[in-house]
Structure 1
Amino acid sequence: MARFIDELKRNAHCGELRAQDENREVVLFGWVASYRDHGGCVFVDLRDREGITQLVFDPNREGHGNLPRTAYELAQTLRSEWVIGVRGLVVGRGANKNPRLATGEIEVHVVELSVFNKAETPPFEILDELDTSEEKRLQYRYLDLRRAPLQRTLRTRHRIHQTTRRYFDDKGFLELETPFMVKYTPGGARNFLVPSRVHPGKVYALAESPQLFKQLYMIAGFDRYFQIVKCFRDEDPRLDRQPEFTQIDVEMSFVSQTDVFRTMEGLIFRLWKEVLGIDLHDLYPSGRFPEMPFEESMKHYGNDKPDLRFELPHTDLTSLVIEHGGGGIPFFKDIADKFRDGTYRRDLPAQIVKALRVPAQVAGQSLSRTEVDKLEDFVKGMGAKGLARAKVDLEGNWTQSPLAKTVTPEMRRAINQAVGAGDGDLILFQFGKESVVQTVMANLRVHLAKKLKMIPEVGHGGQFKFLWVVDPPLFEYDDDAKTWVAAHHAFTRPHDEHVGLIDKDPGKVLCHRYDLVLNGFEIGGGSIRLHDPVVQAKVFAAMGIADEDARQKFGFLLDALRFGAPPHGGIAVGMDRLAMLMAGAESLRDVIPFPKTQKGTDLMTDAPTRPTADQLAELRIRVIEPPTS
């Protein structure tokens, strides 16, 4: 071994050798991916992070004394995942080329072999495609990471990091750090708490984002800041969420919303070019992404992150239902009756009616009646009570629908016209509480697109549809607390023309907040910050936050804003989500080296663990055990 490490240095990687390297002497290090003894020669596929090279151990090779036979005899003992080093000659494979390997034109005839480490039989094979459960792969993540697909995604992630740093450095940004352990401030996601031994009974919070500190950098005069930073949120994990994640965090002084957009579009164009080799100017010649008002996004797609790779927009029928007094449909009449003289009763939860037209055939696909019936189970899984539907015939009549028995002809014609339904089309309805209807219809739209082969089940399918969603409400009404709360955070700047509405009609106040959306995923979000203390006080008042309460929660930032805060704004882009979409991966866990499970656990290290009695005593913490059933 000492000869290989000390004298024989690696001079090539396993995935880089080609026909032009023939007759070159190489030293390779790596893992035994496969072993085949053909009775006169031993063949080994050697793997490292760059790929695979076939090794040949021929005991009768001449010109190297007894070295080839010694290497051959040692090679007969090799097993899968042993770590070895070899010295040998690159030889062309002639007619025996392997088109499945990038190095398939050559093989390396080994004259010298060293075994660095033996390996036990792994719990699963290290293959590109395998059906081993994700739980098992996460338990042995270091083995899973040897697989080429994961190595490719992590290389993509690395290139995103490096390109991002070069881009922002070129643009005059400073890469500055912010603390992880901070003061808990309410209003965002749930924080992880860190108890302090030095200050018994007190806790730090792990930062869910650098938001307040990056604003302090602007007040300090640093003008342009960025950071690739870890953030922490004690939330339920899901497909595109992890308890610890990475952001590309950006803040700028003396900028408008448009300035932020142009800066981030420049980053995205450069990432796609340098990492994926795709020039987004072919899709967006102006170098800019389209913008869509929040209200329009909610109306047509049910959320603020629409996937624009396909159509299937929603149609809001609420006004139509009111106009027709329900149109003979009992459920619709209940909603219409909530209006008196055309004025919505604010004492009742907001309710709406939405429809989605499924064309008779899309991309050569259509829905059978059985598949339509299964859609009802799908929406019930999201909290819907059911899924009303109607199939339209040549005359515009509704068939295969219980609504057909009571709907008035006028209402039926009006709905057909509103959604653009014709012969063979299917209309799907949702009605009830606005938040539920929007969520159900948004997810149903994407579910149908996958079922009808309009988009792939996983990955981008070669399509990249970017969108800025802009001008959302500053406030949203909390039905439980019976008060207005910040839809994003309390330091978002309202539109100048809406400042007068803050204390009169908060629900109509729009703000300079924005989300960058790609293929139905929010990859970034930010806002222009509120730096005017007078308007800030009005925002707090609308939320029912008294001066004393505001100082207790945000005192250090409020103090800083009084010492010459410049106009500023920024954005945070989810690095993990960006890498997932660029790599075409199935979930965030495929682009994070050591991720947590859906339950937020680490199967490899068995975290989280119970603290010992001594640890609890030192921190002066008592654990309350959950009640036993």
Structure 2
Amino acid sequence: MLRTHTCGELNLAHVNEDVVLCGWVQRIRDKGGMIWLDLRDRYGLTQLLFEEGKTPSEVLQAARTLGREFVIEAKGKVIERVAKNDKIQTGSIEIRITGITILNPAKLPPFLIEDETDGGDDIRMKYRYLDLRRNTVREKLQLRHQVARHTRAYLDDLNFIEVETPVLIKSTPEGARDFVVPSRMNPGEFYALPQSPQTFKQLLMVAGFDRYYQIVKCFRDEDLRADRQPEFTQIDCEMSFVTQEDILNTFEGLIRNLFRKVKGIELPEVPRMTYADAMRLYGSDKPDIRFDMKFTELKGEDQDLTSGSNFGVFDEAELVVGVCAPGCATYTRKQMDELTDWVKRPQIGAKGLIYVRYNADGSIKSSVDKFYSEEILRTWAEAFDAKPGDLLLILSGQADKARKQLNEVRLEMGSRLGFRNPDVYHVLWVLDFPLLEYGEAEDRWFAMHHPFTSPKPEDIPLLATDLGKVRANAYDMVINGVEVGGGSVRIFERDLQQQMFGILGFSPEEAQEQFGFLMNAFEFGAPPHAGIAFGFDRLCSLFGGVDSIRDFIAFPKNNSGRDVMIDSPSIISDGQLKELSIRVENRV
């Protein structure tokens, strides 16, 4: 080892010791007779001292040739600092230098390698290897490492076995778009990169590996956003001879263990909510339950508190629904106009917003006063369980659309009111999803999760009579309004799997061609099995208290799916294309 210690471990106990440190020059302060230099490695920062009369002249001269990010070896003695710095781990000591060696000089970096940098996203992505030197970025990857380490330890203790599954697999028509890889040895044929190891982990259950896991790379050719990358990582798990309850208990235990080990937080028992209740009360299958503001229906299947006043907007609506924003009755007309414009944006798509102010003095005013009396407005306030000072925000229209729009309003108000603190964590299981959803454009049914999800046993007869009412034996874990994991009890009988493929529009021949290997395996003694997968990058970003998963990936892609550091994807040569039997027309 070139060094005796790292730049993050020395303290007063090491005073008078001779040490050798290696690292990068963070900054230099030359005061003439004295030079201070901050040396950095991934463990921390140590101050080096060069002093005329005490430091050899040639060493002092060499120090004055150093620049930012030079890689050096420094020898010296640990001394106590006169002016201590309690903001860094080594702030009570410094090193009086007796010798330095420049291991590698460095060009001036294109941005400051500091916690507060002057580099924008694009330049830092291009020089990602420099960005990774910054504490704030490095700490995110260290957190990622801790999550992975404690995940493996927890699952290992429960006799799970980590098994690698193939990366070059078969393309399937269900789900997101595949990334495909041409086969040179099989001209005109292609592999696909896995969107998940789903069928392989089910085959491992058939093989008798009753507890499998893998922290695995997956690939989806999708449009990108802050919480999505073309390649991402899952904690992928499967178990045999279990029920849904066993899965929920095992992996609630995993999440609680991770919060305890990584964040030092003891989570309470995780509550459960059905999909139907989540949509009815929050308009979302991944509700943020850090705050209340549940939906209240003024007009719906069970009641109508809006009719008889000739207000066409409500009379023609299938659903009139709203939320109570506590303490917001003081919102000005300008604030209400701004909020109304906000809900009219294309991203939300509402035609307007009705509001009712329940003023602190007990009076009630609304944007529909000419249609509804104060007496009726008070019945609305009672339905919302509103208190003086609260503001009712109401939308109307087609039921599913109005609920989705109101979910956005609820989240926006939760943010404005400070209810969505990233350092507060509320975890939720959402259960009993619909098995299928109907695609109007395609005029057929699709699997809401995937084709291998089992219906709830009591709903299997409905597969022949009412597909829309069949519930899936499926479950999602939601943290702070973000879906971090999902899974299901699997189909493990050939006949039921064949029936499911038929419902999804596969002919028997197409099902055999695409998934015959799995259905054939079911005929050789497939056990009952179930599983779950957690979005590893997304889980890390939640632990780190940020929205973007990009910060927790060492070398991420940008929003166009490009790696600007290595300039990928890129054009390949005509010779390579010919070797792969690929012809590209109109190539520039």
Query: One fold, TM greater than 0.5?
Result: yes
Deviates more, 1:442-451 or 1:574-583: 442-451
The counterpart of 2:365, out of the listed 399, 421, 426, is 399
Q: Distance in 2 between matches of 1:587 and 1:367?
A: 32
Following TM superposition, by how much is the alpha carbon of 1:38 offset from its aligned partner in structure 2, in angstroms?
0.8
1:578 aligns with 2:545: no
Aligned to 2:326: 359
Assess, with a 3 A threshold, how the Cα gap between structure 1 residues 256 and 22 changes in structure 2: closer, same or farther: same
Please say if residues 181 and 207 of structure 1, whose CA atoms lie closer than 8 Å, have aligned partners that are also in contact. yes
Assess, with a 3 A threshold, how the Cα gap between structure 1 residues 436 and 614 changes in structure 2: closer, same or farther: farther
The counterpart of 2:44, out of the listed 51, 76, 83, is 51
Residue identity opposite 2:189 in structure 1: K
Q: What is the correspondence of 1:542-581 to structure 2 with a 5 Å cutoff?
A: 542-581=503-542
Please say if residues 328 and 407 of structure 1, whose CA atoms lie closer than 8 Å, have aligned partners that are also in contact. no
The counterpart of 1:377, out of the listed 341, 364, 375, is 341
Q: What is the correspondence of 1:293-304 to structure 2 with a 5 Å cutoff?
A: 293-304=274-285
1:609 aligns with 2:551: no
CA RMSD between the two structures:
2.3
Please say if residues 22 and 74 of structure 2, whose CA atoms lie closer than 8 Å, have aligned partners that are also in contact. yes
Q: Distance in 1 between matches of 2:543 and 2:119?
A: 25
Q: Distance in 2 between matches of 1:220 and 1:614?
A: 43
Q: Distance in 1 between matches of 2:304 and 2:186?
A: 60
Following TM superposition, by how much is the alpha carbon of 1:11 offset from its aligned partner in structure 2, in angstroms?
1.6
3-state SS of paired residue (1:238):
coil
Query: What are the Cα deviations for residues 208-254 of structure 1, in whole angstroms up to 9, with x where unaligned?
Result: 00001000000111111000100000011112111100111100000
Deviates more, 1:422-431 or 1:110-119: 422-431
1:487 aligns with 2:415: no
Q: Distance in 1 between matches of 2:223 and 2:156?
A: 35
Query: What are the Cα deviations for residues 471-491 of structure 1, in whole angstroms up to 9, with x where unaligned?
Result: 111111111122222111121
Residue identity opposite 2:292 in structure 1: E
Deviates more, 1:613-622 or 1:52-61: 613-622
Instruction: Report the TM-score when normalising by structure 1.
Output: 0.88
Residue identity opposite 1:391 in structure 2: V
Residue identity opposite 1:587 in structure 2: S
Following TM superposition, by how much is the alpha carbon of 1:522 offset from its aligned partner in structure 2, in angstroms?
1.0
Deviates more, 1:405-414 or 1:418-427: 405-414
Following TM superposition, by how much is the alpha carbon of 1:452 offset from its aligned partner in structure 2, in angstroms?
1.3
The counterpart of 1:82, out of the listed 58, 61, 70, is 70
Aligned to 2:197: 210
Assess, with a 3 A threshold, how the Cα gap between structure 1 residues 414 and 552 changes in structure 2: closer, same or farther: farther
Q: What is the correspondence of 1:521-536 to structure 2 with a 5 Å cutoff?
A: 521-536=482-497
Q: What is the correspondence of 1:81-480 to structure 2 with a 5 Å cutoff?
A: 81-94=69-82, 96-278=83-265, 280=266, 283-284=267-268, 288-316=269-297, 317-319=299-301, 325=307, 328-336=310-318, 352-361=319-328, 367-379=331-343, 380-393=345-358, 399-401=365-367, 403-407=368-372, 412-456=377-421, 460-461=422-423, 463-480=424-441
Please say if residues 326 and 332 of structure 1, whose CA atoms lie closer than 8 Å, have aligned partners that are also in contact. no
Q: Distance in 1 between matches of 2:12 and 2:263?
A: 26
Following TM superposition, by how much is the alpha carbon of 1:579 offset from its aligned partner in structure 2, in angstroms?
0.9
Assess, with a 3 A threshold, how the Cα gap between structure 1 residues 510 and 26 changes in structure 2: closer, same or farther: same
Q: Distance in 2 between matches of 1:444 and 1:60?
A: 69
Please say if residues 494 and 520 of structure 2, whose CA atoms lie closer than 8 Å, have aligned partners that are also in contact. no
Please say if residues 294 and 323 of structure 2, whose CA atoms lie closer than 8 Å, have aligned partners that are also in contact. yes
Please say if residues 154 and 592 of structure 1, whose CA atoms lie closer than 8 Å, have aligned partners that are also in contact. yes
Instruction: Report the TM-score when normalising by structure 2.
Output: 0.94
Please say if residues 231 and 246 of structure 1, whose CA atoms lie closer than 8 Å, have aligned partners that are also in contact. yes
3-state SS of paired residue (2:541):
helix
3-state SS of paired residue (1:181):
coil
Assess, with a 3 A threshold, how the Cα gap between structure 1 residues 617 and 168 changes in structure 2: closer, same or farther: same
Query: What are the Cα deviations for residues 526-579 of structure 1, in whole angstroms up to 9, with x where unaligned?
Result: 001011233333333433433223222221111111221100001001110111
Q: Distance in 1 between matches of 2:363 and 2:462?
A: 46
Following TM superposition, by how much is the alpha carbon of 1:354 offset from its aligned partner in structure 2, in angstroms?
2.5
Assess, with a 3 A threshold, how the Cα gap between structure 1 residues 93 and 158 changes in structure 2: closer, same or farther: same
Q: Any unmatched runs of 5+ in structure 2?
A: none
1:21 aligns with 2:14: yes
Please say if residues 487 and 530 of structure 2, whose CA atoms lie closer than 8 Å, have aligned partners that are also in contact. yes
Assess, with a 3 A threshold, how the Cα gap between structure 1 residues 540 and 268 changes in structure 2: closer, same or farther: same
3-state SS of paired residue (2:27):
strand
Assess, with a 3 A threshold, how the Cα gap between structure 1 residues 405 and 532 changes in structure 2: closer, same or farther: farther
Residue identity opposite 1:594 in structure 2: F
Assess, with a 3 A threshold, how the Cα gap between structure 1 residues 378 and 193 changes in structure 2: closer, same or farther: farther
Query: What are the Cα deviations for residues 239-298 of structure 1, in whole angstroms up to 9, with x where unaligned?
Result: 2111100111100000111111221122222222222233x1xx41xxx31111111111
Q: Distance in 2 between matches of 1:29 and 1:313?
A: 57
Residue identity opposite 1:252 in structure 2: M
3-state SS of paired residue (2:430):
strand
Q: Any unmatched runs of 5+ in structure 1?
A: 62-66, 337-351
Query: What are the Cα deviations for residues 109-161 of structure 1, in whole angstroms up to 9, with x where unaligned?
Result: 11110001111111110110234321111111111111001111111111111
**How many residues get paired?**
585
The counterpart of 2:53, out of the listed 49, 57, 60, is 60
3-state SS of paired residue (2:91):
coil
Aligned to 2:461: 500
Deviates more, 1:531-540 or 1:14-23: 531-540
3-state SS of paired residue (1:488):
coil
Identical-pair percentage: 43
Residue identity opposite 2:546 in structure 1: A
